[in-house]
Amino acid sequence: MTGEQAALTQQRHRGITLRHRLRPLGDEQYDADAALLRQFNPFFPRFCGHMVGQNSLEYALLLLHSDDRVYGTDDAGEANRILRRILEHQVLDPDADSYGNFLWMTHWDRVKDANAVAFLVPGLIYAWLNFPEKLDDSTKAAMQQQFPAMLAGVHGRKIQWTYSNIFFLCMGALEGLARVLGDDATHQTAVRAFDEWLEGTARDGFYEFNSPTYTPVTLIGMEAALTYTTDDVFRERLRRTMDVYTYQLAQNLMPTGFLGGAASRAYQRDVLHGTGHAAPWAHVKLGTPLAIGPHDRLMFVNHTLYDYVPPPQVRALVTDRPDPMVISDRNSGMASRRTHVVTSSYGLASQCMERVGGHSPAAYVLMVRNTDAPRPSLAIVPDESFSHLPCASFQSRQSDSRVVGRLWYDLPDDQRDHFLEDPTFVCEPRVLFGLRDQIEEVRVGNVDWGGRPVQLRAGQSVAVSWGGLFVGLTLTLTDAEGEPREGKAQLAYDEDGELRLRVLLLGGTEMAPDDEPLQALLIFDTHVPAEGETLGDYAEWLSCWELSVEGECVAAQHPDESRMAYPHTDADPDPIGDALHVSPDLTLRPGDLTPIINGETSPAILAR
């Protein structure tokens, strides 16, 4: 047995085990009368109820995979009921704008989330191709009759190539439909779309980069297309693309399976617990641990369906890599610049973000300890509400374990009244230090903090210890002219046990009609203490940092350390120059990705 065959066997075993783990979750959510799963969504009432667009199909695939050890074909029978119920919610009126798409929820009267067709079609094709003996005649007839409408629905979901996860789910759908319909024109459409994506990505850098949720979803679509296509050349291009994606994810992973590094999009569970799609994806493909917890989702089934195996050196990268390892990335189209420094003790990442918002804004700064503790991370985040509150922009520079940066908010003219009328409509970045029962000591300035809420003074520091690791933050709030302002940065343990620093840039009950947003200057540091070194020693060093701002330039100075400043200048240039990605085993400059994907060059790290 070759190394890749052995890796595939192990990968399949992990996938089977994960499917067995997810089965009780589906059993609990399944409503047999409706033949669909039911969900509660704490943020969006319209997503409460019986689901068509996600999870129900994954549960049907679990049932089709079941070996029916107890009751014969009952599992397959329920799977058929679910598949037919899903098909009942496809829009089959050829005159409708949403023809071929699906209602996401049964109680909707129209297509409100046009991504449903992208999520459903690859899995429906999987059921068709892999379980012909378990699909009954009525299910087969309905699927066969509705495949052409599905193709129309995918074409109707006109998606930009920068929206990577839905773009590649649609590509997986196109290749699957090209196969079952024997339609080469549809395959050629997928190839042209891929060429467009490759041209833009080679030029700009990756979009939806390193996202704990959306990069693995991108890989689901990519792997479906790789599996379904009958074009050997295209299959190899997709495989090499997955190799590059997998390399980038693997190098940002902690050995625990927590995806660190700067992300394009991330949910709160991703940032705090590392429990997004990246965790089960890394478990199946790379063999990292996967803790059992409350964040399991039926969608994780998709990571167990296909047989792509990462290159051997990529598989080894999670546990065998330089210490420290520095990963630098940028996307020129988004004006995004990211750095991740990974050591044996922690990973520290930061990024520049000019446009921030939506329901999944990523952390500005993310530090992940290399531990299997339930909460191993510290994050500076734009928003915790999941309700599209105004988010500050962030510009920063990272050198090794230290980040200097500036948070600010450009207030649109049409938002001022909203801020004044609604005290909950705020621009308030937050520092989430961690949980009370995991933190050993906290010092404010260089004074042992007693635990009661405190307003930080301008330039005052916070030092936190977990025993084997210290972190420090020095923060100064100023007005637009750079004059210090106080009373807007509160440190407290909240009811959830989180040590949270709220940095109010604009809004709240005390906002006056002519108030302008504040800006926050900060320096963040991570430190592994020497033997005998106390948090008091570290806090004394931390308190000597001084922050200043002139225009958009923020600088941090310390009597015993090198000056740090952002932005870069001709005299102090960006160390990666014009590169889009720099890591120990791979450098990508504009245009370099294309020959790799087309097989004209092959980096050693991706060798098979």
Q: Is the pLDDT of residue 292 over 80?
A: no
Q: Which of 166-180, 317-331, 590-604 has the lowest mean pLDDT?
A: 317-331
pLDDT over 90 for what percent of the chain?
A: 88
Rounded to whole angstroms, the Cα distance separating 458 from 34 reads 58
* Sign of the Cα pseudo-torsion (389, 258, 25, 131, in order): positive
Q: Which of 230-234, 317-321, 492-496, 579-583 has the lowest mean pLDDT?
A: 317-321
Rounded to whole angstroms, the Cα distance separating 209 from 525 reads 24
Residue 356 is predicted with a pLDDT of: 78
> Which of 322, 400, 398 has the alpha carbon at shortest distance from 585?
322
Q: Are 504 and 515 a contacting pair, CB within 8 Å?
A: no
* Max CA distance (Å), the chain: 78
Q: Terminus-to-terminus CA distance in the chain, angstroms?
A: 15
Q: Are 283 and 249 a contacting pair, CB within 8 Å?
A: no
Residue 318 is predicted with a pLDDT of: 87
Average pLDDT over residues 22-36: 96
Average pLDDT over residues 59-74: 83
Q: Are 222 and 228 a contacting pair, CB within 8 Å?
A: no
Average pLDDT over residues 185-199: 98
Give 85's pLDDT tier (boundaries 50, 70, 90): very high
pTM for the full model? 0.96
Residue 486 is predicted with a pLDDT of: 87
Taking only the tens place, the pLDDT of each residue in 526-572 is: 999 999 999 999 999 999 999 999 888 999 999 999 999 999 999 89
Residue 18 is predicted with a pLDDT of: 96
Taking only the tens place, the pLDDT of each residue in 253-288 is: 999 999 999 999 998 889 999 989 999 999 999 999
Please give the mean pLDDT across all residues of the chain.
95
Taking only the tens place, the pLDDT of each residue in 130-167 is: 999 999 999 999 999 999 999 999 999 999 999 999 99
Taking only the tens place, the pLDDT of each residue in 325-364 is: 999 999 999 889 999 999 999 999 999 988 777 777 899 9
Residue 359 is predicted with a pLDDT of: 73
Helix (H) or strand (E) holding 220: helix 214-228
Average pLDDT over residues 3-13: 96
Name, in order, each residue with C-beta under 8 angstroms of 545's C-beta and a sequence gap of 6 or more: 461, 474, 523, 556, 557, 558, 561
- Chain-centroid distance of CA 458 in Å reads 33
Average pLDDT over residues 87-107: 97
Q: Is the pLDDT of residue 72 over 80?
A: no
Average pLDDT over residues 440-453: 95
Rounded to whole angstroms, the Cα distance separating 267 from 186 reads 34
Query: Which DSSP string corresponds to 182-217?
Result: T-HHHHHHHHHHHHHHHHHHHHH--SSTT-TTHHHH
Strands 30-31, 336-342: pairing is unpaired
Rounded to whole angstroms, the Cα distance separating 76 from 62 reads 9
Residue 43 is predicted with a pLDDT of: 80
